[in-house]
Structure 1
Amino acid sequence: MKFTFAHNNFNIMDLDKSLAFYKEALGLQEVRRKEAEDGSFILVYLGDGSSRHTLELTWLRDWEKESYNLGDNEFHLALEVDDYEGALRKHKEMDCVVFENNDMGIYFIIDPDGYWIEIIPSEDK
């Protein structure tokens, strides 16, 4: 028996805003979408174009609260980048960097719903 990663999920408030953020900040593109017949939810899967792993963005029509409770937000998604310095500059220009750990050589950005995303230099570098 072998398990492989399929996707991670983030529940989001504004689908268009999130899609624009993930495209601009990380170059992620929609690879598939599932919409409920009654319009109660939309699932959009984003891919990086090279791995099979996807990020599932879930929009729920009937979510009535202002935002999702992320608790202490101790969970996160991590992506490697081949141009760490260029990515850091871009994300600073986007004003989405929330934490830099220079000792570890990593930083975190925040998406429109408050999810943290770790950016790490590619091991191929």
Structure 2
Amino acid sequence: MRMLHTMLRVGNLERSIAFYTEVLGMRLLRRHDYPDGKFTLAFVGYQDETDGAVIELTHNWGVEQYELGNAYGHIALEVADAKKACDDIRARGGKVVREAGPMKHGSTVIAFVEDPDGYKVELIEHGTHGR
């Protein structure tokens, strides 16, 4: 078995694709409309789906907003330099909600950004966390 993707429901597909591709630097891997079901799926990631896990953005036509609830945590991305990543993301219009710095009760350097729908994305600095 292997991890394929994580699915997020989004209120504005174009805005979400722009965030994940233009702000976080992922590629749009594929996109398909399902008119009979009134939804569109778009897959974004840093590598092809055959090589690693990606994010599935699901847009249900006519739904512009979702309740995120309190069970969802975040998506985590490894970055070379968390402070620089925050600066770059902010410069591209992204929203940094926790600046880079050590996590509470540890030494792992992390930061958090938020996508257009309010989903959190954690940035973890390479070499500062245990596996």
TM-score, normalising length from structure 2? 0.80
- Is the Cα contact below 8 Å between 2:83 and 2:99 reproduced in 1? no
Alignment of 1:93-108 (within 5 A): 93=91, 94-100=93-99, 102-104=101-103, 105-108=109-112
Residue equivalent to 2:106: none
Residues of 2 paired with 1:14 and 1:69: CA distance?
A: 14
Report SS of the residue matched to 1:5.
coil
- Count of equivalent residues: 120
- Structure 1 residue runs of 4 or more that deviate by more than 4 Å after TM superposition: none
| CA–CA distance in structure 1, aligned partners of residues 111 and 35 of structure 2 | 40
* Paired residue type of 1:109: V
Name 2:29's counterpart in structure 1.
31
Please, which runs of 5 or more residues in structure 1 have no aligned partner?
Answer: none
Q: 5 Å matches for 1:16-95?
A: 16-38=14-36, 40-49=38-47, 51-63=51-63, 66-72=64-70, 74-93=72-91, 94-95=93-94
Contact 1:78 1:117 in 2 (8 A): yes
Superposition RMSD on alpha carbons, in Å?
2.2
**1:46-81 Cα shifts (integer Å, max 9, x gaps):** 010274211000000142xx5211113641101111
